């Protein structure tokens, strides 16, 4: 019934672009676009990611029209990325991997050397598809202990006409030592391990119908909302991918709207629904859902103001949360969140705002605020406050032309009880991974990064991080009302220095070398790190990757 409703909503759009996402971990293209925006070559809004391939193509077209403003390294990188995104150009009909010209109806010029190498690529006036393998591995050495992470998979994407698109990516991962879990407080992508605890797979994909003014999609994927170069505080994209319905609208250049309804994993067994099956129990889990929206306004060029809200609700699907434009906390007030123990009857709602300014050439200023709960009567009391808020402020400076240097600095603070909830089935998490900032509540972080690109596709970066994590203050309605003290009895203080050299040999073929010094002190030092990292602060690694994530 629900799938029929979705198709009914989809049909009017099908008769009307392509919405194949560029995964948010594809740092090279997103970093290039941020650099171009800081140079005022393009207007670029990255508060909601991933961007689609068509969005990136259109931005690259604008960069190409301003190529005279670029230095040689930037021109070379533009040509490099264009080899991939030329496939979205209406005037391009390419060659497959055997060099055969492919066409149907309209005949367009063949430009073999302009396109990147794909395992298989087909495009005509109606249909196109790209298929590529994914393979890679990374070897680590922490002290004298070696370990590795390897992955293999495949990806495909394409569209039928300009208005219906599809994609699928599967990656199977193997680790000699388990590197992630929901207890690890580090910005790496989360994972759900198989029985061996060293293997996991991630299947992503979806389909979309779209027009120039918007799209409607059903996907299973990651997503990021909010600014930041070391983890967003709104939706970080760190949790395993979730199934979701997505709606995006851009009716005018100065306004956009984004909405999702997602199905989360509660990790809580529904004992009433569990039943006997064979020699054991068939365990079913409590249903858990997410609805969120984001409004973005560009009042003047280079300034983006975004605001929105979200709700995590559980137990059963409620169609009211399919209405994209609602203020969900108010909805919750009319659906049982009144009377005694209202918090236990209601759901878990949040609000957020984000501001990005690129009005000063070479400088990007950004700030995010995530409001889990706030009480204005205690907002000036820094010791004990019922203000469950997270905020991030930062900047990125991109040096002019031939200097090829960027500098990033940001500060993040998460007050106690932010992201928590006293109803376990409505926590701000999926598969145990916090949907927001990776450090969770009662923590703060200073992060700085220098990026140097002497030649095209070669990036050398130096990072420094100083982070603190306070004790875990269990959140319940009584303690929340009394207020919680920030950073009382620190669990750990983390200092990290990292150096990375990465080179993209060809499109989606990358080699990377890195060194990391990570030192933690405190009563719970190294408790929230992978076992493989414990015992020695020095780690070196070497990785090779074929195919994009």
**Could you give the CA distance from residue 145 to residue 104 in angstroms, rounded to a whole number?**
57
Taking the model in full, what pTM does it have?
0.91
199-211/388-398 β-pairing: unpaired
Predicted local distance difference test score (pLDDT) of residue 3: 41
11-15, 175-179, 390-394, 518-522: segment of lowest average pLDDT:
11-15
Q: Identify the residue with better confidence: 28 or 18.
A: 28
Q: Is the pLDDT of residue 360 over 70?
A: yes
Predicted local distance difference test score (pLDDT) of residue 457: 96
pLDDT-based confidence at residue 293 (cuts at 50, 70, 90)? very high
**Could you give the CA distance from residue 348 to residue 465 in angstroms, rounded to a whole number?**
31
**C-alpha to C-alpha distances, 180 to 45, 186, 423, nearest whole angstrom:** 31, 8, 25
**Could you give the CA distance from residue 64 to residue 230 in angstroms, rounded to a whole number?**
29
pLDDT-based confidence at residue 354 (cuts at 50, 70, 90)? very high
For 272-329, the DSSP string reads: TT-EEETTEEE--EEEEEEEEEEEEE-SSTTEEEEEEEEEEEESS--GGGG-TT--HH
Number of other residues whose CB lies within 10 A of the CB of residue 299: 9
Predicted local distance difference test score (pLDDT) of residue 274: 81
Strands (E), 143-232: 145-160, 164-175, 199-211, 214-221, 224-225
pLDDT-based confidence at residue 101 (cuts at 50, 70, 90)? very low
Q: Rounded to a whole number, what is the largest CA-CA distance in the chain?
A: 72
**Could you give the CA distance from residue 285 to residue 268 in angstroms, rounded to a whole number?**
5
pLDDT one-digit tens code per residue, 120-143: 988 888 899 999 999 999 999 999
Predicted local distance difference test score (pLDDT) of residue 282: 82
Quick one: how far is CA 209 from the chain centroid? 22
Q: Report which listed range, 14-23, 94-103, 234-243, is most confident.
A: 234-243
Predicted local distance difference test score (pLDDT) of residue 335: 80
Contacts of 450 (CB under 8 A, 6+ apart): 405, 406, 407, 408, 461, 462, 463
Q: Is 255 within 8 Å of 225 (Cβ atoms)?
A: no
Q: Is the pLDDT of residue 375 over 70?
A: no
Predicted local distance difference test score (pLDDT) of residue 110: 42
Q: What is the pLDDT averaged over residues 289-303?
A: 97
Q: Is the pLDDT of residue 11 over 80?
A: no
Q: Which two tokens stand for residue 148?
A: 């590795």
End-to-end CA distance of the chain, in Å? Answer: 33
Q: Is the pLDDT of residue 275 over 60?
A: yes
Predicted local distance difference test score (pLDDT) of residue 9: 44
Q: Is the pLDDT of residue 487 over 50?
A: yes
Q: Is the pLDDT of residue 247 over 70?
A: yes
Q: Is the pLDDT of residue 385 over 80?
A: no
**C-alpha to C-alpha distances, 462 to 448, 496, 500, 502, nearest whole angstrom:** 8, 11, 7, 12
Burial of 113 (C-beta count, 10 Å sphere; 0-12/13-18/19+): exposed
Q: Identify the residue with better confidence: 375 or 326.
A: 326
**Could you give the CA distance from residue 131 to residue 22 in angstroms, rounded to a whole number?**
15
**All domains in the chain, ordered by first residue:** 2-546 (2.40.160.130)
Q: Is the pLDDT of residue 378 over 50?
A: no
pLDDT one-digit tens code per residue, 218-240: 999 999 999 999 999 999 999 99
- Residue count of the chain: 549
Kindly report the CA angle at 540 between 149 and 182, in degrees rounded to 5? 50
pLDDT-based confidence at residue 514 (cuts at 50, 70, 90)? very high
Q: Is the pLDDT of residue 271 over 50?
A: yes
36-45, 100-109, 144-153, 368-377: segment of lowest average pLDDT:
100-109
Q: Is the pLDDT of residue 483 over 90?
A: no
Q: Is the pLDDT of residue 34 over 80?
A: yes
**Could you give the CA distance from residue 293 to residue 179 in angstroms, rounded to a whole number?**
33
Percent share of the chain, pLDDT over 90: 73
Predicted local distance difference test score (pLDDT) of residue 344: 54
Predicted local distance difference test score (pLDDT) of residue 296: 98
Q: Is the pLDDT of residue 98 over 50?
A: no
| Average pLDDT of the residues of the chain | 88
């Amino acid at each position: 019934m629900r799938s029929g409703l979705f198709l009914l909503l989809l049909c009017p759009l099908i008769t009307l672009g392509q919405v194949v996402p560029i995964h948010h971990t594809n740092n090279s293209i997103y970093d290039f676009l941020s650099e171009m925006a800081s140079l005022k070559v393009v207007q670029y809004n990255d508060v909601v990611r991933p961007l689609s391939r068509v969005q990136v193509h259109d931005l690259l077209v604008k960069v190409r029209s301003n190529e005279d403003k670029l230095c040689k390294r930037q021109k070379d990188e533009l040509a490099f990325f264009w080899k991939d995104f030329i496939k979205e150009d209406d005037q391009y009909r390419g060659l497959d991997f055997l060099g055969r010209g492919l066409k149907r109806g309209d005949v367009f010029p063949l430009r073999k050397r302009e396109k990147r190498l794909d395992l298989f690529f087909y495009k005509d006036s109606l249909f196109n598809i790209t298929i590529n393998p994914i393979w890679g591995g990374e070897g680590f050495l922490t002290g004298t202990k070696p370990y590795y992470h390897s992955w293999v998979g495949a990806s495909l994407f394409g569209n039928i006409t300009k208005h219906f698109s599809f994609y699928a990516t599967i990656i199977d991962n193997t680790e000699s030592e388990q590197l992630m879990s929901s207890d690890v407080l580090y910005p790496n992508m989360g994972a759900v391990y198989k029985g061996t605890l060293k293997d996991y797979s991630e299947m992503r994909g979806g389909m979309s119908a779209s027009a120039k003014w918007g799209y409607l999609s059903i996907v299973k994927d990651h997503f990021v909302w909010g600014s930041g170069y070391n983890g967003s505080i709104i939706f970080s994209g760190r949790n395993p991918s979730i199934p979701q319905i997505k709606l995006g609208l851009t009716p005018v250049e100065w306004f956009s709207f984004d909405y999702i309804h997602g199905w989360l994993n509660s990790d809580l067994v529904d004992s009433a629904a569990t039943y006997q099956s064979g020699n054991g129990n068939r365990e079913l889990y409590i249903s858990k859902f997410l609805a969120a929206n984001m409004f973005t306004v560009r009042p003047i060029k280079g300034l983006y103001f975004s605001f929105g809200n979200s709700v995590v609700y559980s137990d059963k699907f409620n169609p009211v949360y399919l209405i994209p434009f609602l203020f969900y906390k108010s909805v919750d007030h009319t659906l049982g969140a009144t009377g005694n123990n209202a918090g236990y009857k209601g759901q878990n709602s949040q609000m957020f705002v984000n501001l990005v300014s690129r009005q000063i050439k070479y400088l990007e200023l950004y700030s995010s605020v995530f409001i889990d709960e706030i009480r204005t009567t205690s907002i000036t009391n820094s010791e004990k406050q019922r203000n469950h808020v997270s905020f991030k402020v930062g900047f990125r400076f991109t040096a002019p032309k031939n200097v090829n240097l960027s500098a990033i600095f940001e500060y993040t603070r998460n007050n106690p009880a932010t992201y928590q909830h006293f109803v376990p089935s409505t926590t701000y998490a999926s598969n145990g991974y916090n949907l927001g900032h990776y450090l969770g509540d009662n923590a703060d972080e200073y992060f700085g990064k220098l990026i140097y690109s002497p030649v095209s596709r070669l990036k050398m970066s130096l990072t420094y991080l100083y982070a603190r994590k306070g004790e875990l203050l269990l959140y319940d309605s009584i303690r929340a009302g009394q207020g919680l003290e920030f950073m009382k009895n620190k669990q750990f203080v983390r200092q990290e220095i990292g150096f990375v050299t990465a080179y993209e040999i060809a499109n989606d073929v990358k080699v990377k070398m890195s060194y990391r010094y990570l030192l933690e002190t405190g009563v719970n030092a190294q408790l929230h790190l992978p076992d493989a990292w414990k015992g020695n602060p020095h780690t070196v690694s070497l990785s090779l990757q074929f195919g994009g994530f």
